Structure 1
């Protein structure tokens, strides 16, 4: 079973996404106007199945109410038992009632982990204060609670935050961590990629961290197979084929290309002998997915 380890769905009639529906706003990944509409499982499955994908991991995507989003995703999983669907929900790891929140989330059979974004783009999260999570001792305690509950953490950040993050994660070695979007290499100049690769190594040296080959179009909208080659190759060299996994980041990356183009590009860049691990086994193991379970 091939797995897409990073995508989103949304029903704008069921769950509110303030960032998505803000009219006239341009985000770090571009103009969201084309995706300011419902993006449901049937549309996603049509594109994914055409590329041999047979299961997926839904990643929280900034809903106003994370619990409402998680419940809706569970309803999608329940309505599509033939499509293994795991989910990573939002939870504030610094919350005073963290244990109670996680207990509620774990009542959902599809739940596998939590994502709390540290950094999306230069300046954006510095304004919102999420970068400060790394200095908050409650955040580290929250990471340890996830490990105790056998939940994973999806890590989204910038290269500039990797050194500090690696230091924090080193104190929670039992927490399984999935690095989103190859660590968001936003500076695609030769110097920028060298700096990203050096910082990426800090996370790669932690054995509990894996890497998603996803979201590579967010900072390079006119990407080509050759332009993303250094990123894919660096990730494979740093983490090894056993710790990398494919993700489409749809529908966000649909702003720049179609689903098949992303799959074809990564298929051509990942050596054939590693396809089974990068496109299937690694994600299925990390997110505990089973072809017949529906979750």
Structure 2
């Protein structure tokens, strides 16, 4: 019997460059909002994740879509399902891309649902103001069709992974409060780009508004994108505040690998959480139970 801590990784990615078309992984010399992606512009498969996570025992995971070309979104879901079938531990839940503003949304969701572990959708609301202006994602919240798409997810019992930035907080909080039946996870601590005292205060106020929405959950993930050299002391105020606002049953942990591999090892976020909350019941909820319940695993 393993003496390693068991974890459910609530947010990671896998990619096979021969299987799906990932424009951002195939583009060279283009810096992204999270930095230079060149070290991870290669296949990242189940064996790579297991190797990176060797200090822990992964008992399940959520695979989150990772920017494939729209024509390849169904292929990405099928790829993740094959990993799930083969490993029995990874991709227990699959969060796919679907365009919530599309008139063909229902058909897209039905195609994804042919894969047994399909559980929800991520359509990125905010990355960075410059990238959002180029992609048009900065306008999605004001599109009435997006709200309709979110309501359809709620009606189907599907989840939504919400990736946004500070510029989106106020508008998003209003929109999601109007869909109380939708269960959604705020990715990457809500992308706190400004980690100054003033920035933290604005983040806290915004998260307090989100926490009033019954279906809102918080993911402890991706902090390296905002402060690559972070320490447990740096994330402690965000962890403590999220637990205060959302409660320990509406928070979960994800590695954001291999993106966060750019900033440190797989153990980093998990060991930090162990340091901050200990190895008791709170750890069990954050590291496994909450995500398993949220994603119906």
Q: Please indicate, yes or no, whether the TM-score normalized by the shorter chain is above 0.5.
A: yes
1:11 to 9, 16, 26: 16
Whole-Å Cα distance in 1 between the matches of residues 158 and 245 of structure 2?
Answer: 24
Aligned 1:130-279 pairs, distance under 5 A: 130-271=137-278, 272-279=280-287
Whole-Å Cα distance in 1 between the matches of residues 106 and 140 of structure 2?
Answer: 18
Greater shift after overlay, 41-50 or 113-122?
41-50
Deviating beyond 6 angstroms after TM superposition, the runs of 4 or more aligned structure 1 residues are none
Q: Secondary structure of 2:108's match?
A: helix
Q: Secondary structure of 2:223's match?
A: coil
Whole-Å Cα distance in 2 between the matches of residues 273 and 286 of structure 1?
Answer: 17
> CA deviation digits over 1:208-250, x for unaligned, max 9?
1100000011011111111121121121111111100010000
**1:33 equivalent in structure 2:** 38
2:289 to 277, 281, 285: 281
1:93 aligned to 2:112?
no
Whole-Å Cα distance in 2 between the matches of residues 242 and 175 of structure 1?
Answer: 16
Contact 1:159 1:200 in 2 (8 A): no
- What's the CA shift for 1:269? 1.7
**2:3 equivalent in structure 1:** none
Q: 1:9 to 1:83 in 2, by over 3 A?
A: closer
Contact 1:232 1:270 in 2 (8 A): no
Alignment RMSD (CA, Å): 1.3
Unaligned runs of 5+ in 2: 1-5
Whole-Å Cα distance in 2 between the matches of residues 234 and 125 of structure 1?
Answer: 28
- What's the CA shift for 1:206? 0.6
Q: Which has the higher contact order (CA 8 A, sep 6+)?
A: 1
Instruction: Please give the TM-score of this superposition, normalised by the length of structure 2.
Output: 0.94
> CA deviation digits over 1:113-165, x for unaligned, max 9?
00000001233213311121111111111111111111111100012211111
**1:42 equivalent in structure 2:** 47
Contact 2:249 2:286 in 1 (8 A): yes
Whole-Å Cα distance in 1 between the matches of residues 15 and 90 of structure 2?
Answer: 17
Instruction: Please give the TM-score of this superposition, normalised by the length of structure 1.
Output: 0.94
- What's the CA shift for 1:83? 4.5
Greater shift after overlay, 242-251 or 155-164?
155-164
Q: Secondary structure of 1:238's match?
A: helix
**1:61 equivalent in structure 2:** 66
Whole-Å Cα distance in 2 between the matches of residues 198 and 160 of structure 1?
Answer: 13
Whole-Å Cα distance in 2 between the matches of residues 233 and 159 of structure 1?
Answer: 19
> CA deviation digits over 1:244-283, x for unaligned, max 9?
0010000000000101122101221235441111111100
